[in-house]
A and B are shown apart, each in its own frame.
Chain A
Amino acid sequence: MDRRNFLKSGLIGAGAGTLAAGTALANNTIPKEVPEWSQILGAGVDVEPYGLPSPHEAHVRRRNVEWLTASPESSINFTPLQDLSGIITPNGLHFERHHGGVAEVDPNEHRLLIHGLVDKPLVFTLEDIKRFLPVSRFYFVECAANGGMEWRGAQLNGCQFTHGMISCCQYTGVMLSTLLNEVGIKPKGKWILAEGADSAGMNRTIPMEKALDDCMIVYAQNGEALRPAQGYPMRLLVPGFEGNMSVKWIRRLEIGDMPWFAREETSKYTDLLEDGKARMFTWVQDANSIITTPSPEKVMKHKGYNVITGLAWSGRGAIKGVDISLDGGRNWEPAQLEDPVLPKCLTRFYYPWDWQGDGKLIQSRAYDDSGYVQPTFAKQREERGLNSIYHNNSIHTWEVKPNGEVENVQLA
C-alpha cells in the first residue's frame, strides 16, 4: 500500500466510525437548514412586560391529585421537583395549599393587628411593615402531609406527587421578634394565635420561644411581592415547622398564656398512632430527602455516565450529608452536597454513577447537624402504624428497570 492509499483507507475508516456514531446520535448533529430564529427578528422589549418560561417548558407546572380532596378551594397541589435545578423554587411553581381558596387581598386595606397579653396593642399597615429593617433568608416551606399518601404502600407514581408538597425560596420581611418588641410581651405571654384574612380564617398557635427565635412576617418571595397564592400581601413564616403554621394573608397575632387548640391543631395536623392516641403539636419537619432524577418522570435514557440528583432538608437545622444506595439500602455511599448548605433550607445533592442497563433499587438517606438520620419506612411504620397521615419522612425507593423506566416501590 502506498502512502496515498494508506491515508485514504485511514480516512474511510475514520469516516465509517463517524458515520456509525452519527447514525446512533442523529438528533445530536448540527441541522442542515438555518433555523427561523437565526434569520428573522424576534420579539422586541416589552412584548412580555412580565416574562414567562419558554413554551417548550409548558410541562413544568404544578399538578394536583383531584381525588384527594372534596373541592379545589380546600386542596393542595404539588411542585414539579423533578424539573427544577439548584435549590430555589420559582414563585409560579411554589405548591399551593389553601383551606378557603386564594384570598384576593387589597394591600391598602390589609392590616396586621397584634394584641392580647401585650403592653400596647398595635396595628400595622403593609407600609409600616416595610419600614422596619428588612431581613432576607432562604427557607423551605413543607406541608406536614408531604408523602402522606404513601403510608399504606407505594401509591403515586411520580416524584412530584410523592414529595412535591415542598418549595424553597428567599423570603424578605421583618423578624417577628422585632414586632413583638414593639408591642411588648407581658411575662405570661407564652403562645401566639396567628390568624389569616382568608375565608378559612386559618388559625394556628405558635409557641413564643419559636416566635422569638426565627419567625418572620414576610412580604417578598424570591425578590418580588408574595404571590396571592402564597399569602399576598404578607404571611407568617415559621422556618422548619409544618407549613400550615406559616399562616398566609396574616392579619392578626394574639398573645396568650395557653394554646388555642384550633381545628387545624386538633382535628387536623395531629398524628394518629396505632393505639388510637394522637400526637399533637408535631411542629418540626424532620430530615427528609428525595432523588428527583432518575424518577418516574425522569427515566434513564443513557447507559454509562449519569448523575443521580435530588434534594434534602431538615426542619431541625442544616443537612450534614446524604447517602445513596443502589441496592435497596444494603450498601451506601456519600453523595456530594452543593453549596449553599443552609439550615431549614433545601440542599442539592449529586451522585455520579455508571449505569450498565441493569435493574436497581435506588434510595437517598439524609442526616442533619442535630444527629438525626432519616429512617426506613419499615422503622417508621413500626413506630407509628399506618394512620398517621402527617410527617412521613422515611427513605424513599425508586426502582430503575433495565429498559430505563422508573417506578415508585416500597420495600418490605
Chain B
Amino acid sequence: MSNWLKLVVVGLVAAMLSFEASAQQKIGLGTVPTAEEIARWDIDVRPDGYGLPPGSGNAYDGEEIFIDKCSACHGEFGEGAGRWPVLVGGHDTLASEDPVKTIGSYWPYTSTIYDYIYRAMPFGEAQTLTPDETYAIVAYLLYSNDIIDDDSMEINADNLAKIEMPNKDGFIPDDREVVSGERCMRDCKDSVTVASRARILDVTPDQ
C-alpha cells in the first residue's frame, strides 16, 4: 500500500471513530428525577408481579365495590350492559362463530387486570381507586370467573401473579406471512362472483 493510501485509510478510520464517538455523546438535556417522583408515576404491573403495590383485597369486599363503581357499565355480575365489555363467562367460545372474549375466557395474565383497572377504571375516574379496592375488584372478577373459589381469599402482591389464567397458553407470536402471493397479471381466476353487498345490510351512517 502506498503511503498516501495508508494516510487516506487511517484518516477514514479516524473519521469513523470520531463519528461513532459523537453518536454516543450525550447532549445533557433533561433533569434527574427523585425516586419519590418516579414512584408517583410508576403505576404499571407486569405478569411476573413486578410493580404490584402493598395492600390486599378479597372477592367478598370486591363485590360491594364492583356494584357501586363498575356495575353501571359491566352489570352486577360482569355480564356487561349495552355495548360495554362483558367481563365474565365466555368459556369455550373462542373457536366458535361468536367468541366472547372476557377476562376469564381470554386474558392470559392476572397482572393485566390490576394494571388496567387501576390506570383506567372507573371510566372517567381513573387512578382514584386505592390499592386495597383494586385488589378487591380483581379478586371479585377472578371469583366470578371461577378462577379462585374462595371469596375470603386475600389477593395481594405475593399471590396475584401466581394465579394462572385459563387462556394463558392461548396466544402465539405473530406468524403472518412475510412474503405473500405472487403478482398474477393475466387470467388469474376462472370465474368472478359477488358474494355480499354493503347496501343489503344498510348499516352505513347517513352522510
Q: Is the interface of B mostly helix, strand, loop or mixed?
A: loop
Q: Is the CB of A281 within 8 A of B33?
A: no
> Are A280 and B116 neighbours in the complex by a CB distance under 8 Å?
no
B24 at the A/B interface (Cβ < 8 Å)? yes
Contact with B along A42-59 (1 / 0, CB 8 A): 000000000000000001
The count of residues in chain A whose C-beta lies closer than 8 Å to any C-beta of chain B is: 100
Which B residues, 154 to 169, have Cβ-Cβ distances below 8 Å to chain A? none
Q: Which residue of B lies closest to A251 (CB)?
A: B41
Which of the 9-residue segments B12-20, B59-67, B143-151, B172-180 touches chain A? B172-180
Docked complex: A322-365 residues within 8 A CB-CB of B: 323, 327-333, 361, 365
B171 near A278 with CB under 8 A, answer: yes
| A329, B204: Cβ atoms closer than 8 Å | no
Q: Is the CB of A410 within 8 A of B29?
A: no
Instruction: Check A65–B26 contact: CB distance below 8 A.
Output: no
Bound-state CA distance A209–B30 (Å) is: 23
Asked if residues B204 and A332 are in contact (CB atoms below 8 Å), the reply is no
User: Is the beta-carbon distance between A260 and B44 smaller than 8 angstroms?
Assistant: yes
Inside 8 A of A383's CB, which chain B residues have their CB? 177
Structural contact, A331 and B101, CB atoms closer than 8 A: no
Q: Which residue of B97, B115, B175, B207 is within 8 Å of A386 (Cβ)?
A: B97
Task: State whether A379 and B181 are in contact (beta carbons under 8 Å apart), knowing that A121-B38, A279-B176, A327-B192 are contacts in the complex.
Answer: yes
Of the candidate stretches B1-9, B130-138, B183-191, the one touching chain A is B183-191
Chain B residue numbers with a CB within 8 Å of A59 are: 207
**Extra pairs beyond A66-B205, A367-B183 (7, CB < 8 Å):** A113-B37, A124-B29, A158-B204, A181-B24, A330-B189, A399-B197, A411-B192
Tell whether B21 is near chain A: CB-to-CB under 8 Å. no
B126 touches A375 (CB 8 A): no
Is A131 close to B, CB under 8 A? Answer: yes
Q: Which residues of A contact B107 (CB under 8 A)?
A: 266-267
Given contacts A158-B207, A161-B204, A279-B173, contact A122 B116 (CB under 8 A): no
Instruction: Return the CB mask of B36-55 against A: 1 if under 8 Å, else 0.
Output: 01100111111110100000
